[in-house]
Structure 1
Amino acid sequence: MTLSDPLMLREARETPELITRQWQENAAVSGALAATLADRRPPYAVTIARGSSDHACTVLKYALETELALPVASLGPSVHTLYGAQLELRGALVIAVSQSGASPDVVASVRMARRSGATTVAVVNVEDSDLAREVEFVLPLHCGEERAVAATKSYLTSLTALLPVVASLKGDRRLLAALERLPEALQLTLGLERPASELAERYRFAENLLVLARGLHFGVAQEAALKLKETCGIHAEAYSAAEFDHGPKRLLAGGVALLGFTSADAAADATARTYADLTGSGADLRTLGPTPGSTLTTPATNHPLTDPVASALAFYLFAAHLALHRDLDPDAPPLLSKVTLTR
């Protein structure tokens, strides 16, 4: 690491120690939230977020639904702030995810949810933010200042903030053990920076890229598509590998390249079959994830809920180096700023 490296890379490399800090410093509030949810089990959950934070919520949706059988919906903040709807959310678990905690539409939507009787949680980096002041429970990301426009460490810590709560509610000792070992796995993931850069080199002149995944990795694919737009100026879109045959596959006739996320969970076999069919038909597909034989194979974290963290970190290394291969500064994408205040 050198000081001349982009902030995006330097901040992503901080993640292993940040996960350790988050695990230690959030223990009390995680325990209190788990106890509250065990006592007043919500019938469903709602997430409120935008951008990278919303992609983290997609991963969280799969985590809560697969591990706790808790249905999760994404609430569009404009339903309340623009259309004036006062939603009935009594008894629901409402989770807002935000790096800054400053966006007025997210803050207003959470305020409405709490007034309607929801249990409200903020996963936020700025602990004295407007959002943090509106909720019952605050789970800090503990990232410190994130200066790069493209979020990295805040997204990754958003993926882990609620996992101790999930582990407690399910009594999942395997998940607790995986969380304890996760910093070590992420440190190993950082060792993939050179092969990630080498993989990125082949996309140096790409104008379009489709990103595929299923299940817990789909929110990582969404984040990957966003980062390719932000940092590399590539038109990228994320699709479920299960939905790709339902229309989007037509784009392959134009020679569009694919990046597919693999997994080591219940979606692994179905995803592998889809990727085999695509490569068998001549698609330009490279893969990233914990499945052995992936183009860029990430270290095993020993739990389906923690594997996406390593995959996302490996992708950030890929994206930052792809920007550099394209002679772009990933820290200064045109037309964008760090904090977007949507009303």
Structure 2
Amino acid sequence: MTEPLMLRETRQAPEAIVRQLRENAPALARLAAAVRGRRPAYAVTVARGSSDHACTFIKYALETHLALPVASLGPSVHTLYGARLDLRGALVIAASQSGASPDVVESVQAAREEGALTVALVNVEDSPLAQAAEHAIFLRCGEEKAVAATKSYLATLSALLPLIADLTGSAELRRAVDALPDHLAQTMDLAPQADELAARYRFAENLLVLARGLHYGVAQEAALKLKETCGIHAEAYSAAEFSHGPKRLIVEGVPLLGFASNDAAQLATRQAYADLATQGADLRTLGPDPQATLVTPGTGHALSDPLPSAAAFYLFAAQLAGQRGLDPDAPPLLSKVTRTR
């Protein structure tokens, strides 16, 4: 049986990140100099879909390691409601695989005109978004054909890690980033374990995905992929927020998939999952925590750990789609590029 394109492209992520590290150094050095020179007081992200979930990770990364507050900008504020936001002093980060969505492009153009420091994380190098931003940091994925984004999501997570290492002077993060392609390659060997875990959810109609902190954007992405590729109604929640009402659903037998980190959120997340288990939750976990159901490779740094978690989840989702008799490369009603205003 031919391996789904979704899986083949997931396996290309290590090569993409090698290219990032090799080819993006000059652009990242210019961006680091601009950030140091202009000293943005806060950051704003602009994105949709998988790219927006990557921006959730970027939010936690910038806030935890640069103490830079980050907010998410709704593109329709500008394109539909006509508001011109005062973004002077802001770092505006837009993410898009295609760089073609008009609402994201127009939002970046407006932010640049208002005096913001604008950055595009984009895969298609001659795209409108790459041209609209002051700084373009390319994902270096090559063409991504599968409707469900995989390698471009992973490459968006990694794109700014060298910048953070530079701005913080962290040799530990620099080493972790340099070793990241190897850790992702190791993750691909987890396909049998991912297949076994997927069998647990073969007949699920609903699924709740939990995480905290740096893994929360991965949980958001996981919920989207479960909808796209498996036809499962899935929603992502913070493991902390889940107890504020949504926990009611475990009484109805709704299963849970939790991301388990090996960072500052580890103990709090472990406790939350333990409490849910004692209350009867059907819960399995995935991540670098040694106690996870499916343990992913540790990378040596909290900022790089979510990438193997996300890659392992892609293995899981593709296997789950196959077990449900579905083709993850042909989700109904969806296309690769969605243009919104």
| TM bracket, shorter-chain basis | over 0.9
SS of the residue aligned with 2:234?
strand
Of 149, 171, 174, the match for 1:173: 171
Please list, as runs of the form range in 1=range in 2, the aligned pairs for 1:145-184 lying within 5 A after superposition.
Answer: 145-184=143-182
Alignment partners' CA distance in 2, 1:21 and 1:108: 29
1:37-57 deviation line (CA, Å, top 9, x unaligned): 011110000000000000000
Match of 2:310? 312
Match of 1:213? 211
Shift of 1:31: 0.8
Please list, as runs of the form range in 1=range in 2, the aligned pairs for 1:262-277 lying within 5 A after superposition.
Answer: 262-277=260-275
Alignment partners' CA distance in 2, 1:35 and 1:265: 29
Of 23, 28, 40, the match for 1:25: 23
Q: Is 1:131 aligned to 2:133, yes or no? A: no
Alignment partners' CA distance in 2, 1:200 and 1:225: 14
Match of 1:200? 198
1:46-81 deviation line (CA, Å, top 9, x unaligned): 000000000000000000000000000000000000
Alignment partners' CA distance in 2, 1:41 and 1:165: 14
Match of 1:294? 292
Shift of 1:310: 0.6
Alignment partners' CA distance in 2, 1:207 and 1:177: 42
Q: How many residues align?
A: 341
Of 119, 122, 130, the match for 1:121: 119
1:140-187 deviation line (CA, Å, top 9, x unaligned): 000011000000000000000011111111111100000011111111
SS of the residue aligned with 1:192?
helix
Alignment partners' CA distance in 2, 1:83 and 1:133: 24
Q: Is 1:83 aligned to 2:86, yes or no? A: no
Q: Is the 8 A contact 2:250 2:280 kept in 1?
A: no
Q: Is 1:341 aligned to 2:339, yes or no? A: yes
Shift of 1:281: 1.6
Of 267, 272, 280, the match for 1:282: 280
Alignment partners' CA distance in 2, 1:247 and 1:202: 25
Alignment partners' CA distance in 2, 1:177 and 1:82: 44
Shift of 1:293: 1.9
Match of 2:39? 41
Alignment partners' CA distance in 2, 1:208 and 1:239: 14
Give the TM-score taking structure 1 as reference length.
0.99
SS of the residue aligned with 1:120?
strand
Matching residue's letter, 1:73: A
Of 310, 318, 321, the match for 2:319: 321
Matching residue's letter, 2:248: R
Matching residue's letter, 1:255: G
SS of the residue aligned with 1:94?
strand
SS of the residue aligned with 1:312?
helix
* CA RMSD, 1 decimal: 0.6
Alignment partners' CA distance in 1, 2:248 and 2:257: 16
Match of 1:55? 53
Matching residue's letter, 1:80: H
1:289-336 deviation line (CA, Å, top 9, x unaligned): 000021100011000000000100000000000000001000000000
Alignment partners' CA distance in 2, 1:250 and 1:112: 43
Matching residue's letter, 1:276: A
Shift of 1:17: 1.2
Match of 1:12? 10
* Runs (5+) with no aligned partner, structure 2: none
Alignment partners' CA distance in 2, 1:109 and 1:32: 22
* Runs (5+) with no aligned partner, structure 1: none
Alignment partners' CA distance in 2, 1:293 and 1:50: 33
Matching residue's letter, 2:8: R
Match of 1:142? 140
Alignment partners' CA distance in 1, 2:129 and 2:38: 23
Shift of 1:111: 0.4
Give the TM-score taking structure 2 as reference length.
0.99
Structure 1 runs of 4+ aligned residues shifted over 6 Å read none
SS of the residue aligned with 1:191?
helix
Matching residue's letter, 1:262: A
Identity rate, percent: 70
Alignment partners' CA distance in 1, 2:235 and 2:280: 20
Alignment partners' CA distance in 1, 2:80 and 2:272: 40
Alignment partners' CA distance in 1, 2:82 and 2:65: 34
Alignment partners' CA distance in 2, 1:262 and 1:89: 36
Q: Is the 8 A contact 2:96 2:122 kept in 1?
A: yes
